[in-house]
Amino acid sequence: MIELRVPREDVNDDTATVARWLVPAGAPVVAGQVVCELETTKTIFEVCAPAGGHLHPVAPEKAELSVGAVLARITDSPEPPALPETPIEASKQAGEVRATRQAQEFARAHGIDLAALAHRGILTLKEVQAAAGLRKPHWQTPPGVRRVLVLGAGVAAMQVLDILLHDREVLPVGCLDDDTSLHKVSLFGVPVLGGLDCLEELWRDGVFDAAIVGIGTNVPVRAAMYRRLRDLGIPLVNAIDPSARINRQALLGQGLVLCAFVHVGVAATLGDNCFLAAHSNIDHHCTLGRHVVMGPGCLLSGTVTVGDETLFGSGVIVQPGLEVGARCRVASGSVILRDIPAEHAVKMRPPTEVVMVKTGG
Amino acid sequence: MDELPALERASGPSPRPLLESLYERMLLIRRFEERVLSFFSEGSLYGTTHACIGQEAVSVGLFSHLGPQDVVFSNHRCHGHYLLHQDDPEGLLAELMGRATGPCAGRGGSQHLHRGNFFSNGVQGGIVPNALGLAMAGGLLEKPGIAVVFLGDGTLGEGQVYESFNLASLWRLPVLFVVENNFWAQSTSSKVQLAGEIADRPRAFGIPTEVIASHDVLLTCERSGPVVQAVRRGEGPRALVFHTFRLCSHSRSDDARPESCIAPWRSHDPLLLASKELDPAWLEAAESRVDERLARAEQSALAAPFAEEPVLPPIPLPRSSPEVWSGERVVQVLNRALRGLLEEDPRVLLLGEDLVDPYGGAFKVTRGLSGDFPGRVLATPLSEAALTGVASGLALRGMRPILEIMFGDFLTLCVDQLVNYVSKFRGMYDGRASCPLVLRTPMGGRRGYGPTHSQTLDRLLMGVPDLRLVAPSVLHDPGALLREAVDDEAPVLFLENKLMYTRPVRCADPEGYLGPWRARRTAGPYPTVTLSLVDFSTSKVTLATYGGMVEIAMEAAETLLIEHEVACEVVVPSWLNPPRFQALEDSLSRCRGRLVTVEEGIGVAGWGAEVISSCCERGLLRGAAGRVAAPCAVIPTALPLESGVLPDSAGVVQEVLRQIG
Ligand SMILES: Cc1ncc(C[n+]2csc(CCOP(=O)(O)OP(=O)(O)O)c2C)c(N)n1
Ligand SMILES: [Mg+2]
């Protein structure tokens, strides 16, 4: 079998149009016989059969073909060759559903039929997720229940979700995270809806009523997200584990995350957007600024003051009445015995000596 | 003392009334120029001037055969010509004083005058093809009169002069070339500037040329008459070479010529020669008439205000042409549009190299037209500079020429005309002239034509006042754009793209879809098309592009969506400069100010740079913006090397991903 291809006639044309077939399909031809007329922007020219045989046109008249495309085949038989080969263009033709790679993967993973969703454009992940019920304001919440969006979808967000999912007054409806690898997952059944750039749009679309920041130790990011929510006028909720013990005289800000067994003592004050991990103790008359983040098991004695955006590792102990300034970072296990001015990192040297003083007997 | 060239005198007794009238005209010019120079030395005039003191006999003799129906294109030393053609010392003085009552309201000044059929421009050379265009238009529009163009000996160094000699002779245009050979160009003697004989130059092109060496105004008058008549009779172009001398400095006060070469000419002062024949009483009376007129002109000019607005209002946009979607390829659409324009508008004329059949233009855009419109599709010599000048002259006089430059790369040869003539006329003539020509040219690479036939030079002509840059794309109806360009009172640079010619024009269906794309277009002429693969308002990045890069940007947008879930809008203006913001602003507000520009040309000081900085000025951007363009490099010929420098869709994808971090 010999293929007859579209020759390059002039430098200006990368395509040619089939003007006319001069022999019917399957007819015998001899080598050198003119079989077809092609037209370019410049001219009409003739194409000859390179060898004898039966001619089987592949392209119909008026078809526009690229230079090098198969125009016809010449075989030994008047029967058309059994080659179901379709032109390259056909793969994009009617019936084919086009979807983004992520949309296709999501559809496969969730058993969604893309053809049912098809429209004239390209199906996006968003659309497929929406169809799967993961997006947009489909959540029916009972009266009084607030739909909450969590910013972040990492380990801190999981702790936040864990609390929110036990709270009957709120319903976490989704998370946002710029890490695209998280976009397909759902956390405890709560979908990751996309990157943080979706925030405005989702808010505009009325997908949620309030939000909370689910970012832990990255304090600047935590603070920035809080400001962004504030700027957009989005209300913040508190995520307070039912096991937390909070004194009735304590003053609480907004956007707080208080994990299991946190204790907030008498008349203590917590500024907005603090994140206190499990077992933290904020004793009586302590004052925490905004965006203070503490690892598990921190122990603040009474009347301690902590400035904005200060980060404590786990198990930090602070003696009564001391002041830790803003934007400090205090390493795990530190025992604070003096005031720490703002913007300091604090680390304990390993204890080298055990001092014992006899106190009785 | 330098020796004078042999000068002639009229023989026989002088006819008194004729001499008197010629003398009085010379006197008006002389006293006008003297007054102007004294204003300058007093410091009461701003700018500069080029007086013609000493040369009056040339123009006064010649102009006695010219009338207002004749078109005159003069150069920097144009006051005498203007006064003779327009008899308007009042206007000229006001113009020099920068007043609103000057013919160009002080915008043109001494060297850039226009009133009636008089034009001047202070750049040497280019006015010669302009005059050809004016002459040609006169013939086509059946206007009476011939075209006269003045050039100095120094200007014979300019290439456009010779391109024009060739064209005028080939096309037998009614043009009179007048060389005022005063033996000096600014401070340089013609001895060190000109090889060979001046008269041999036009003669080499078959233009009959006469040399008149005289300061005797009767003789210049007598001898120039038959030459003017020959041109008037349609015998083709003629040249007149006058030997003359400038008795003043080149401009205000910059005479570097030795006195020894000036002195011998003082006794040949044309006014002196003529006055010897005239009655002293009459001379006195003539002096006072001229003096009185100029004094009045001075008073009225001084009392006149300055123009209020330094910048003219923009040229109104053309009518919007309906788009017709035939599914044809760009080359066919353009061809059909040209045919329609030739059929409908007798002012339309196509010019360019190799346009006629059977060749039909290098890219076949004019195929089949020359046969159907004889005389209106002209195959020209390789003279891009002069052709642009001719087209400009045609447009100045009411024609709608469409000039094809075979490769956009050759636009460099047209830049003199585009920058200092075509786009200047309206502004420097106070909006009293327009130059509605269309210059079509294909830009772009990806054909292996190498360094000098593959460039995208659009940016060289960005920001030229009044010059519109219009670029069709496969998303626009190039035919409608071409009609708008032809209807436009502004000159239009119509930037096509080589690869685009064979691409089908793509149009949105009634539901606003174009394949998988949703499409929007702005209303009015030169529309901007915006495409999106997802619902408008859910895109993240605006890709701004034009012309031949459109399909590359679309391919990149598809990849970005399919592979990276990043939705982009593609904004495609057809009017490049200055950027129009409606569609861009809308798109950027939807995409929250994230912009990447895509162009084929070099990025430095290019279209994208202009778009980005303009958007930045308007506060439309969120932060950084991206620019995809060619590096500042010569485009190589070999395929893999060429591909290495021209921006492609992978580059666009990469830049978008980089921008969104
Ligand atoms: C393209 C260009 N180059 C240089 C100049 C500067 N220039 C103005 S007049 C002049 C001399 C022109 O000499 P010529 O053509 O002999 O005219 P003349 O001044 O003697 O009347 C020069 C160099 C100019 N205006 N345009
Ligand atoms: Mg000169």
pLDDT on residue B248? 94
CATH class of B515-660: alpha beta
pLDDT on residue B1? 56
Whether B502 has its CB under 8 Å from any CB of chain A: the answer is yes
Chain-chain contact of B364 with A41 (C-beta, under 8 angstroms): yes
Q: Look at ligand 1, atom 17, and give the residue with the nearest C-alpha.
A: B152
Backbone angles phi, psi at B407, to 5 degrees: -130, 140
Whether B538 has its CB under 8 Å from any CB of chain A: the answer is yes
- In the predicted model, what is the mean pLDDT of chain B? 95
Chain A CB contacts of B501 under 8 Å are 12, 41
- Residue by residue, DSSP assigns B308-325 as S-SSPPPPPPPPPPPP--
Which of A318, A325, A278 has its CA nearest to residue A302?
A318
A193 in a domain, yes or no? yes
Gap between the Cα atoms of A239 and A297, Å rounded? 18
Tokens coding B242: 């006058």
Q: Are residues A68 and A128 in the same domain?
A: no
Band (pLDDT 50/70/90 cuts) for residue B77 is: very high
Mutational test site, ligand 1, from B59, B76, B111, max ligand atoms within 8 Å of CB: B76
Band (pLDDT 50/70/90 cuts) for residue B42 is: very high
Chain-chain contact of B363 with A12 (C-beta, under 8 angstroms): yes
Query: How many beta-carbon contacts under 8 Å exist across A and B?
Result: 64
Q: What is the pLDDT of residues B48-73, one digit of tens each?
A: 999 999 999 999 999 999 999 999 99
Q: Tell me which amino acid residue B11 is.
A: S
How many C-beta atoms surround the C-beta of residue B203 within 10 A? 14
Band (pLDDT 50/70/90 cuts) for residue B9 is: confident
Q: Are residues A297 and A317 in the same domain?
A: yes
Q: What is the pLDDT of residues A305-335, one digit of tens each?
A: 999 999 999 999 999 999 999 999 999 999 9
Of B362, B499, B518, the CB nearest to A121: B518
Q: CA of A121, closest CA in chain B: separation in Å? A: 4
Residue corresponding to tokens 């040619």 = A16
Domain with A222, as residue range(s), is 146-211+218-226
Query: How many angstroms does the Cα of residue B54 sit away from the middle of ligand 2?
Result: 12
Band (pLDDT 50/70/90 cuts) for residue B217 is: very high
CB under 8 Å to B171, separation ≥6 — which residues? B132, B136
Percent of chain A with pLDDT over 90: 46
Query: How many angstroms does the Cα of residue B328 sit away from the middle of ligand 1?
Result: 50
Chain-chain contact of B562 with A100 (C-beta, under 8 angstroms): yes
Whether B618 has its CB under 8 Å from any CB of chain A: the answer is no
Band (pLDDT 50/70/90 cuts) for residue A91 is: very low
- Nearest ligand to residue B160 Cα: 1
Q: Are residues A253 and A359 in the same domain?
A: yes
Percent of chain B with pLDDT over 70: 99
Nearest ligand 1 atom to alpha carbon B186: 11
Gap between the Cα atoms of A293 and B64, Å rounded? 98
Query: Do B18-301 and B330-497 agree at the fold level?
Result: yes
Which site among A8, A12, A123 would you substitute to test the B interface, given the most B Cβ atoms closer than 10 Å to its Cβ?
A12
Tokens coding B528: 């901007």
In the predicted model, what is the mean pLDDT of residues B282-300? 97
pLDDT on residue A184? 65
Band (pLDDT 50/70/90 cuts) for residue B592 is: confident
Q: What is the pLDDT of residues A264-304, one digit of tens each?
A: 999 999 999 999 999 999 999 999 999 999 999 999 999 99
pLDDT on residue B429? 98
Q: What is the pLDDT of residues A208-260, one digit of tens each?
A: 999 999 999 999 999 999 999 999 999 999 999 999 999 988 899 999 999 99
Chain-chain contact of A41 with B502 (C-beta, under 8 angstroms): yes
Whether A120 has its CB under 8 Å from any CB of chain B: the answer is yes
Q: Are residues A346 and A255 in the same domain?
A: yes
Percent of chain B with pLDDT over 90: 90
Chain-chain contact of A41 with B332 (C-beta, under 8 angstroms): yes
A88 in a domain, yes or no? no
Query: How many angstroms does the Cα of residue B532 sit away from the middle of ligand 2?
Result: 62
Query: How many angstroms does the Cα of residue B155 sit away from the middle of ligand 1?
Result: 6
**3-class secondary structure, B604:** coil
- Rg (Cα) of chain B, in Å, rounded? 28
A200 in a domain, yes or no? yes
CATH of the domain at A222: 3.40.50.720
Which of B462, B652, B463 has its CA nearest to residue B542?
B652
pLDDT at B376 over 70: yes
A232 in a domain, yes or no? no
pLDDT on residue B129? 98
Band (pLDDT 50/70/90 cuts) for residue A94 is: very low
Tokens coding A256: 């707080």
Contact B492, B468 (CB under 8 A): yes
A310 in a domain, yes or no? yes
Q: Look at ligand 1, atom 25, and give the residue with the nearest C-alpha.
A: B123
Find the range with the poorest average confidence among A113-127, A173-187, B55-69: A173-187
Which site among B407, B474, B561, B659 would you substitute to test the A interface, given the most A Cβ atoms closer than 10 Å to its Cβ?
B561
Gap between the Cα atoms of B501 and B407, Å rounded? 13
Tokens coding B469: 């840059």
Number of domains chain A contains: 4
Of B364, B504, B513, the CB nearest to A120: B513
Q: CA of A206, closest CA in chain B: separation in Å? A: 15
Q: Are residues A56 and A101 in the same domain?
A: no
How many C-beta atoms surround the C-beta of residue A16 within 10 A? 31
Domain boundaries, chain B: 18-301, 330-497, 515-660
How many C-beta atoms surround the C-beta of residue B294 within 10 A? 19
A176 in a domain, yes or no? yes
Tokens coding B382: 């390789």
pLDDT on residue A89? 35
Here the ipTM equals 0.79
Tokens coding B127: 């006015």
Whether A121 has its CB under 8 Å from any CB of chain B: the answer is yes
Nearest CA in chain B to A201: B538
Tell me, rounded to whole angstroms, the distance of Cα A88 from its chain centroid: 34
Q: What is the value of pTM for the model shown?
A: 0.75
CATH annotation of B330-497: 3.40.50.970
Band (pLDDT 50/70/90 cuts) for residue A87 is: very low
In the predicted model, what is the mean pLDDT of residues B42-47? 91
Q: Which residue has the higher pLDDT, A85 or A248?
A: A248
Q: What is the pLDDT of residues B17-41, one digit of tens each?
A: 999 999 999 999 999 999 999 999 9
Contact B239, B181 (CB under 8 A): no
Chain A CB contacts of B534 under 8 Å are 121-122, 124
Nearest CA in chain A to B518: A121
Helix locations, B462-546, DSSP H: 478-487
Q: What is the pLDDT of residues B89-143, one digit of tens each?
A: 999 999 999 999 999 999 999 999 999 999 999 999 999 999 999 999 999 999 9
Band (pLDDT 50/70/90 cuts) for residue B627 is: very high
Q: What is the pLDDT of residues B249-288, one digit of tens each?
A: 999 888 999 999 999 999 999 999 999 999 999 999 999 9
CB under 8 Å to B200, separation ≥6 — which residues? none
Nearest ligand 1 atom to alpha carbon B126: 1
Q: How far apart are the first and last CA of chain B?
A: 80
Residue corresponding to tokens 């009347």 = A303
Nearest CA in chain A to B335: A41
3-state DSSP of chain A: CEEEECCCCCCCCCEEEEEEECCCCCCEECCCCEEEEEECCCCEEEEECCCCEEEEECCCCCCEEECCCEEEEEECCCCCCCCCCCCHHHHHCCCCCCECHHHHHHHHHHCCCHHHHCCCCCECHHHHHHHCCCCCCCCCCCCCCEEEEEECCCHHHHHHHHHHCCCCCEEEEEEECCCHHHCCCEECCEEEEECHHHHHHHHHCCCCCEEEECCCCCHHHHHHHHHHHHHCCCCECCEECCCCEECCCCEECCCCEECCCCEECCCCEECCCCEECCCCEECCCCEECCCCEECCCCEECCCCEECCCCEECCCCEECCCCEECCCCEECCCCEECCCECCCCEECCCCCCCCCCCCCCC
In the predicted model, what is the mean pLDDT of residues B138-166? 97
Query: What is each CA distance from B214 to B152, B180, B241, in whole angstroms?
Result: 16, 11, 11
CATH annotation of B18-301: 3.40.50.970
Tokens coding B187: 């401070």
pLDDT at A199 over 70: yes
Chain A CB contacts of B538 under 8 Å are 126, 201
Which residue spans within B34-167 are E strands per DSSP?
71-74, 114-115, 118-120, 147-152
Q: What is the pLDDT of residues B382-434, one digit of tens each?
A: 999 999 999 999 999 999 999 999 999 999 999 999 999 999 999 999 999 99
CATH of the domain at A53: 2.40.50.100
Q: What is the pLDDT of residues B328-342, one digit of tens each?
A: 899 999 999 999 999
How many C-beta atoms surround the C-beta of residue A323 within 10 A? 17
Q: What is the pLDDT of residues B531-547, one digit of tens each?
A: 999 988 788 999 999 99
Tokens coding B3: 């020796």
Query: How many angstroms does the Cα of residue B127 sit away from the middle of ligand 1?
Result: 12
Contact B653, B560 (CB under 8 A): yes
Cα-based angle B356, B360, B366 (whole degrees, multiple of 5): 95
pLDDT on residue A84? 44
Whether A204 has its CB under 8 Å from any CB of chain B: the answer is no
Instruction: Give strand pairing partners of A246.
Output: A264
Chain B CB contacts of A126 under 8 Å are 538
Residues with CB under 6 A from ligand 1: B 76-77, 122-125, 152-155, 180, 182, 184-186, 250
